[in-house]
A = this chain, B = another copy of it.
Amino acid sequence: MTPEEFRQRGKRVIDWIADYMERVESLPVLSRAEPGEIAAMLPDTPPERPEPWDAILADLDRVVLPGVTHWQSPTFFGYFPANSSPEAILGDLASSGLGVQGMLWLTSPACTEIETRVLDWLADLIGLPEPFTSRSGVGGGVIQGTASEAVLVAMLAARDRMDGNAGLTAYGSTQAHSSVVKAAKIAGVGRERVRLIETDDALAMDPAALARAIDDDRAAGRTPFFVCATLGTTSTGAIDPVEEIGRVLDRPGAARPWLHVDAAWAGAACVCPEHRQMLGGVERADSFNFNPHKWLLTTFDCSALWVRDRGPVLDALSITPEYLRNRASDAGAVIDYRDWQVPLGRRFRALKLWFVIRGLGAEGLREHIRRSISLASDLETRLRADPRFEVPVPRSLALVCFRLRGEDARTERLLERVNASGEAFFTHTRIEDRDRPGETRLVIRAAVGGVWTRAEHIDRAWRALDREAGRASL
């Protein structure tokens, strides 16, 4: 394809995306494809000769769309949002066009320096303390692919800092993300060496239980090395008390475990001062992570990780073969982000975040968060006003968990029917039944926060819930 052909064809792809943005709300949110159905539309063998561009583009509609669950639909409320705003799409497009590989400062100084500065901006925007910014000269931010990689990088730094100690043991709450256990498996710590600490009624980690677990492990000769506090758990959005957890770790007597704060989803809300109380005590943390690719309008992948001291991260991940050596790196005058991550190569991901922050401004970011929370609050109000429903845990920011009163099977059928209707998409979780210890109850999660979600879409989702809940067979 020549640059001139790219110019023409590229504009058609832009039109296709603009059209998609305009019509996505009319498409069934959850894909109706059966296993193997999309594959069956694809040839068994690759084409020998180039295919016409028209055929390729047409297959976006013919093959791809029927197999897409529309994460950008304004009535997608599953998992957490994965915002792909127009601003971010264009920043990412520019990144593809430049085709820069930013493993070293030298391989594109702008890729590194814009990333460093934009992560300082973002730290300021959410109210992270100064030591996490690059201005400190010791800490700083880096874009990881996902929160899973962020927790892994933090755990590796923590592990190697404690190197040589027996029985390394990590901690998170029973509600912590599965990536904590996955990181422990990857790091060779072992999943059986992750203690899942009990939670309080709000499903937040109980610091006293953490203290007991740490003391017990130390007494047994094990080495507590890593604690993950979660701000906004995946299941219900519970907020662990970072301040109290930090105090538990600060007790004198033994090497202090690394405190990682996983705010993958909820961290975005801290662009609004009224939600920053969750950051209380964050100055006691060693690392902090949240995903602009979840709820802050930045196309996947963009996970922001800040560390208070980059030293242990570099110690854990830096290896310099001859073919990567260069004067700027050898002089220590620059940041080489390859040493802050698992992969070597890296894309110019800061561009999309830069475009988002500049295109929307701080006030645009706050508006997006506040609208999401307000819409979730509207949905909660309707649920609480309807005697068929219950809201068994408090709404957390823009996440509402609800169920039909009575047997789980009714809630399960409701979820299936609403999702099958194509009008909205929700996912589920299970939470402990406080009245019947050891038993769990199924709840539907409504995570509000799409780029295009407005009041009318909450209306539509509510109408679908209301209708299906009223069906006699439920």
> How close is A144's CB to chain B, nearest CB, in angstroms?
9
List of B residues within 8 angstroms of A38 by Cβ: 109-110, 113-114
Whole-angstrom distance between the alpha carbons of A179 and B317 in the complex?
Answer: 10
Contact A117 B4 (CB under 8 A): no
User: How far apart sit A321 and B196, CA to CA, in the bound complex (Å)?
Assistant: 13
Whether A438 sits at the interface, judged by CB under 8 Å, is no
Docked pose: A179 CA to B36 CA in angstroms = 35
B16 with A3: CB separation less than 8 A: no
Q: Does A374 contact B (CB under 8 A)?
A: no
Report the stretch among A197-205, A338-346, A465-473 that lies at the interface: A338-346
Are A14 and B21 touching (Cβ within 8 A)? no
A49 within 8 A of B: yes
Q: Is A250 interfacial (CB 8 A cutoff)? A: no
Give me the 5 closest cross-chain CB pairs, A-B, nearest first. Answer: A188-B188, A67-B110, A84-B99, A17-B97, A10-B14
Q: Say which residue of B3, B60, B149 sits within 8 Å of A342 (CB atoms).
A: B149
Interface segment, one of A215-223, A360-368, A388-396: A360-368
Using A93-B96, A429-B323 as known contacts, say yes or no to A301 and B347 having CB atoms under 8 A apart. yes
A35 to B134, CA, bound (A): 14
Tallying the copies of this chain within the complex gives 2
- A46-B125, A84-B98 given; 11 more Cβ-contact pairs under 8 Å: A1-B86, A42-B113, A46-B358, A49-B362, A63-B114, A67-B114, A78-B107, A148-B344, A187-B187, A301-B343, A323-B427
Bound-state CA distance A322–B71 (Å) is: 20
Q: Please report A residues at the B interface, Cβ cutoff 8 Å.
A: 1-7, 9-11, 13-22, 30-31, 33, 35-39, 42, 44-51, 53, 55-56, 60, 63-69, 71-72, 78-79, 82-90, 92-94, 96-101, 105-111, 113-114, 116-117, 120-122, 124-125, 145-149, 152, 156, 159-160, 177-179, 181-182, 185-189, 191, 234-235, 293, 299-301, 316-317, 319-324, 328, 333-334, 342-345, 347, 351, 355, 357-364, 427-430, 445
Indicate if the CB atoms of B100 and A71 lie closer than 8 Å. Answer: yes
Contact sample, A vs B, 11 pairs, CB 8 Å cutoff: A2-B86, A3-B86, A6-B18, A38-B113, A46-B121, A46-B125, A49-B362, A50-B363, A60-B94, A159-B188, A322-B428
